[in-house]
Structure 1
């Protein structure tokens, strides 16, 4: 019975979110004053992004035209120098690329079939040759080469279906025309967030276990979350002609593409949201650890709303292997602080037992500063944080759990620097959708209990 009520998914644009009860009055109430933030935070104008300084490789003349400068500077945008001088303030070329890769992740959600009455339920609604066209992005410049499926090796009592593979993303490669625009052949892998009961249960498996992805050098001290590793390495063993693991599918296809384009300048870009960002990071580590690519090929992860994946040794190993990770984070999003809200890398003596984030963080935050003469509030602030720990009170101070983790919210926060009022209107749209699906009071209290179970499970 408990498994039946465990964590449901909203069948709308926030499909990867759990339904939590909330007070609508709280969302539309006047903005509260926020506590002071570190002096490192800088304001970015809403109408345009003003660049006050430039790295040596990005001159003002080049930045003035994004499409023209990308072939010359794509290595910096992909993190060759760990995005030095590109985040504070946010460089417009990097901003455009974050939005572009975010749209590739959004395509996963748009193409994912959440209709229980559909024959393609929990799979992609379209064939790979028409997927981008069907989601309204036919001119994206990429061609899908393979669909990717994930299996959770978890049994749920009272579930009729066995643990089977579900569509989680795709592999794509830039077209010849796009190669001219971006300056290299880009191999892209994108992942959606959590959507099924099995995936939610896997997310709750927050204990650490050795990754051991390289059989020749297991490195038992490098540990990752058991649930994410389960999703990445499990296959349909109980099906006669079942799919191989997510790992096997991806390594096989990426190897094929690397051989096919071996004489061209290449990059490998992995992008994902929530659970998908965890799979992207595991894949990046796997590719680098087993030596699948040449050292000269840049391997970059664009992580949207990603949780912590492994321990401090995992973080250090990723850095040694040259895996470049840019974490795009909503500062009010609690998922990005899980697992390990308490036991994280601040406990230096417990490197093997504590979680740690990998890469550079681009934190998006709503900050209310002084009102001007027109009584307009300030815009979104963007800052680069290299936090070593998390304030537990900040973790619990969340205005709207339904909206802060949504992929579309992340894109709205990045592009055009929208004002708070715009996000508030989005929240009201979510309220309307929730009313349409008639969440009962009894069911709401069940989700309150589940929410506390999730918190207590992941907090350590």
Structure 2
């Protein structure tokens, strides 16, 4: 749904806090019924922060020696990032003599060469992620056949990696759109290149969303260079299918991914604001009729001048792929962030019954708002569509549209089940599916009072998931996701301890060549 700019500066710089833990090598024994225990927090010296950083990275491999840096290759499962002015596969921090960049620091007291090397590794775009284990015969369980019961709190290691992996498919959708957002109104769109984070997949279909409303022509006359922001139809995502035999064997099936980005144009923003509920077209009248948000349905069902509606395109492609791979073990995974999370739910609802022999359908959504009423949620559940919502407790977007008085009241409604209250109000919205809840405050790198942009940011979501062990445990000690992109997009919300180190490197993080999710529109990612 909506996205908000991350360029708003913080008004206060809080004292840095570090999570103290006697040992990061323990196993957290927790369950969804466990009592939440806040980690012990203290505001000691910078040395404690660096000690925690040391523990956080204790399992990482040392940085390649300078003589071998030119042989460094990209990890095969990392996101594909273009470096137009740098050698492929080489980190933007590699080759720097970090010790010389901090002449004022006493190595023995605050920043030893080992700390420098490990901080460099953390800031590197080549940081290693959690390993991909063989899912084999348990793939249905990880795809939600049992609603992920017993796998969320504490978070199953394999599920964590799958969630992050699907989030990276959404990042690829953002990057592909913002690399070329404009779309001609005179002719059909040209084929679009998508740099997938997983090379074992191939894009088979581009998807477009169209608004049913329009802006006056004078808007384009006033701002001709920003015409793409007012266009009615825009590229919104893609369908991809796994074609690598080894990856198919690892996952236990051939996976079809439908990936959808969040809000990026003015008209998509306008549709987000049309919060009244409307009836689904294919449901007869009667009490308890499923309803969804008007603007979301508009973007999903409206045809463009030269493109089919998102609904028509995705149904056509799913039918084709199901027929093409008939007889194989298949799954369909729909993933999206913000507005993309809402469209993912509408997609999953429709394709689950679009033809005979549809494989299991699961939704992995990030920072998604409510989509429809409780009857719509019941309809999705009855179709056996499995939904895992990844929610940041500090992300306001996950609590709209509908009733929102305060975070505390919303939390109470969520715990007791707000169906009765929701069904008696004009904005009777309800969430669907299972929930994986993370918190910005649990990250040792992000400010506990991070702004709305950070709390809704997709990279921040993936950072939090990568570090999540359980609701009563501190950030995962061996979390390996790189901080480079997080610092690029959300530097104002990263604790000064880490941003100051990055600035001392005199490195411009924008040299990475990746597309920032927060510079498209004053938006939440």
Superposed pair shares fold, TM > 0.5: yes
2:435 to 361, 368, 386: 361
Which residue of 339, 356, 367 corresponds with 1:275? Answer: 339
Give 2:253's aligned residue.
Answer: 184
Residue 106 of structure 1 corresponds to: 171
3-state DSSP of counterpart to 1:278:
helix
Indicate how the Cα distance of structure 1 residues 318 and 150 shifts in structure 2: closer, same or farther if over 3 A, else same: same
**C-alpha deviation, 1:279, in angstroms:** 0.5
Superposed CA offset, 1:351-397 (max 9, x none):
274101001110111446xxxxxxxx9699xxxxxxxxxxxxxxxx9
The alpha carbon displacement at 1:153 in A equals 0.8
Structure of greater Rg:
2
Structure 1 gap segments, 5+ residues each: 1-14, 50-64, 369-376, 381-396, 437-446, 455-460
TM-superposed CA distance for 1:262, in Å, is 1.2
The alpha-carbon deviation at position 173 of structure 1 amounts to: 0.5
- For 1:230, which of 298, 301, 312 is the aligned residue? 298
Structure-1 residue corresponding to 2:157: 92
> Which of 454, 462, 466 is the matching residue for 1:403?
454
Q: Establish whether residue 147 from structure 1 lines up as the match of residue 206 from structure 2.
A: yes
Q: Equivalent residues in 2 for 1:229-378 (5 A)? A: 229-236=297-304, 239=305, 242-288=306-352, 290-294=353-357, 297-342=359-404, 346=418, 348=420, 351=423, 353=426, 354-367=428-441
- 3-state secondary structure, aligned to 2:362: strand
Count of paired positions: 365
Q: Which has the higher contact order (CA 8 A, sep 6+)?
A: 2
Q: Tell me the SS of whatever aligns to 2:297.
A: helix
Among 148, 151, 156, the alignment partner of 2:215 is 156
Distance 2:389 2:421 in 1: 25
- SS of the residue corresponding to residue 175 of structure 2 reads helix
**For residues 318 and 167 of structure 1, do their structure 2 counterparts lie closer, same or farther at Cα, with a shift above 3 Å needed?**
same
**Aligned twin of 1:131:** 194
Q: How far did residue 215 of structure 1 move?
A: 6.6
After TM superposition, the score normalised by the length of structure 2 is 0.61
The yes-or-no answer on 1:73 pairing with 2:138 is yes
Please point out which of 24, 48, 52 is paired with 2:10.
24
* Structure 2 equivalent of residue 386 of structure 1: none
Give SS of 1:355's match.
Answer: coil
Give the superposed CA RMSD.
4.1
Cα separation, partners in 2 of 1:292 and 1:199, compared to 1, 3 Å = same
Q: Is the 8 A contact 2:279 2:290 kept in 1?
A: yes
Stretch deviating more after TM superposition (81-90 or 158-167)? 158-167
Unaligned runs of 5+ in 2: 19-31, 40-54, 60-129, 221-226, 406-412, 469-474, 500-509, 511-520
2:109 aligned partner: none
CA offsets per residue over residues 146-176 of structure 1, 9 Å max, x none?
A: 1001101112233336753210000011104
What is residue 265 of structure 2 aligned with on the other side? Answer: 196
Write out aligned runs for 1:114-125 (5 A): none
1:243 CA drift (Å): 1.2
Q: Does 38-47 or 147-156 show the bigger shift?
A: 38-47
- What is residue 167 of structure 1 aligned with on the other side? 235
